[in-house]
């Protein structure tokens, strides 16, 4: 018998939603709860796998093709279209701020880990790479929006690259106490030659999604308005996707196949 595949209905960061080919019900697979055993370490999605229908009256088996792995910040931004439609503005603000933080962290990973890996700095030793990754992530564990943005600026506005493991570790050592305080002045940004990159950096400096996120997520439980949310959505999307393209920050996988 031919294997039966489910029809995909939605693919967001947390959930993979399909129509069961047997009972035709919409089935939501939560990747952390229902599909965890099928997701390999360092991957965000399942790939191709056989699963059981979650409708307890059906419970028949079928196949899913959960192959499209977007990056975390892109998933979070894309989820906002639906959140805005559903008028879930508070959730949208939290998504947008988290998307920025995930993007800044990705920028650090690229320069401190993935680029050096692709250039042979870790001598193809995955243990050395993982250990450096652990040290980096311990250091940035408590950094939130402002510090991560400063680190992103230090990395990309000052165009830093690393060619030895010693250089990388020396940078990571100073990351929290000193480099995370690098808050560039407008004049520093205005020296960037490429006009589009310069304008995106200036907009990045002006983003205030973090302060709105704090009002929403913390003790004030602030309810934002539609126009306010749409404005932040446009700003964050333009800056994050724009800088990702302009600065050639590629998908993680590309650095491992070079």
Interface residues toward Zn ion, by CB under 5 A: 20, 22-23, 53, 55, 58
Q: Which is nearer to Zn ion, 14 or 52 (CB)?
A: 52
Element (H, E) at 159: none
Q: Which is nearer to Zn ion, 28 or 133 (CB)?
A: 28
Q: Which is nearer to Zn ion, 56 or 220 (CB)?
A: 56
Minimum Å distance from CB 20 to Zn ion? 3
Q: Which is nearer to Zn ion, 59 or 134 (CB)?
A: 59
Minimum Å distance from CB 15 to Zn ion? 17
What number of other Cβ atoms are within 10 A of residue 242's Cβ?
17
Distance CA 25, CA 182 (A): 52
What number of other Cβ atoms are within 10 A of residue 258's Cβ?
10
Minimum Å distance from CB 27 to Zn ion? 7
Element (H, E) at 231: helix 226-246
Minimum Å distance from CB 50 to Zn ion? 13
> Which residues make Cβ contacts (< 8 Å) with residue 198, sequence separation at least 6?
189, 190, 192
Angle 75-80-82 from CA coordinates, rounded to 5°: 105
Pairing of strands 15-19, 26-30: antiparallel
Minimum Å distance from CB 35 to Zn ion? 16
What number of other Cβ atoms are within 10 A of residue 212's Cβ?
19
Structure tokens of 100? 């920025």
Q: Which is nearer to Zn ion, 65 or 250 (CB)?
A: 65
Q: Which is nearer to Zn ion, 6 or 212 (CB)?
A: 6
Minimum Å distance from CB 12 to Zn ion? 21
State in Å, rounded, how far the first CA of the chain is from the last one: 40
Quick one: which of 36, 61, 35 has its CA closest to 50? 61
Using a 10 angstrom Cβ sphere, with 0-12 exposed, 13-18 middle and 19 or more buried, the burial of residue 166 is exposed
Distance CA 238, CA 221 (A): 27
Minimum Å distance from CB 47 to Zn ion? 21
Q: Which is nearer to Zn ion, 5 or 81 (CB)?
A: 5
């Amino acid at each position: 018998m031919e294997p039966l595949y489910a029809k995909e209905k939605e693919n967001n960061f947390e959930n993979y939603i399909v129509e069961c080919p047997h009972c035709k019900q919409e089935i939501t697979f939560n990747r952390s709860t229902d599909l965890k055993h099928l997701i390999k370490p360092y991957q965000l999605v399942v790939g191709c796998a056989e699963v059981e229908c979650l409708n307890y009256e059906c419970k028949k088996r079928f196949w899913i093709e959960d192959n499209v792995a977007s990056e975390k910040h892109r998933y979070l931004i894309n989820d906002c279209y639906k959140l805005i439609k559903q008028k879930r503005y508070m959730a949208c603000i939290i998504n947008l701020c988290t998307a920025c933080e995930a993007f800044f962290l990705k920028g650090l990973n690229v320069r401190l880990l993935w680029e050096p890996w692709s250039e042979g700095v870790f001598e193809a030793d995955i243990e050395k790479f993982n250990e450096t990754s652990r040290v980096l992530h311990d250091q940035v564990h408590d950094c939130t929006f402002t510090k991560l943005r400063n680190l992103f600026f230090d990395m990309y506005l000052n165009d830093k690259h690393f060619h030895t493991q010693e250089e990388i570790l020396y940078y990571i050592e100073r990351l929290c106490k000193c480099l995370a305080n690098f808050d560039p002045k407008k004049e520093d940004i205005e020296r960037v030659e490429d006009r589009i990159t310069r304008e995106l950096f200036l907009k990045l400096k002006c983003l205030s999604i973090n302060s709105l996120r704090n009002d929403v997520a913390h003790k004030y439980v602030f309810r934002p308005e539609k126009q306010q949310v749409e404005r932040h959505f446009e700003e964050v999307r333009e800056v994050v996707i724009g800088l990702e393209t302009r600065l050639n920050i590629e998908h993680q996988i590309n650095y491992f196949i070079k």
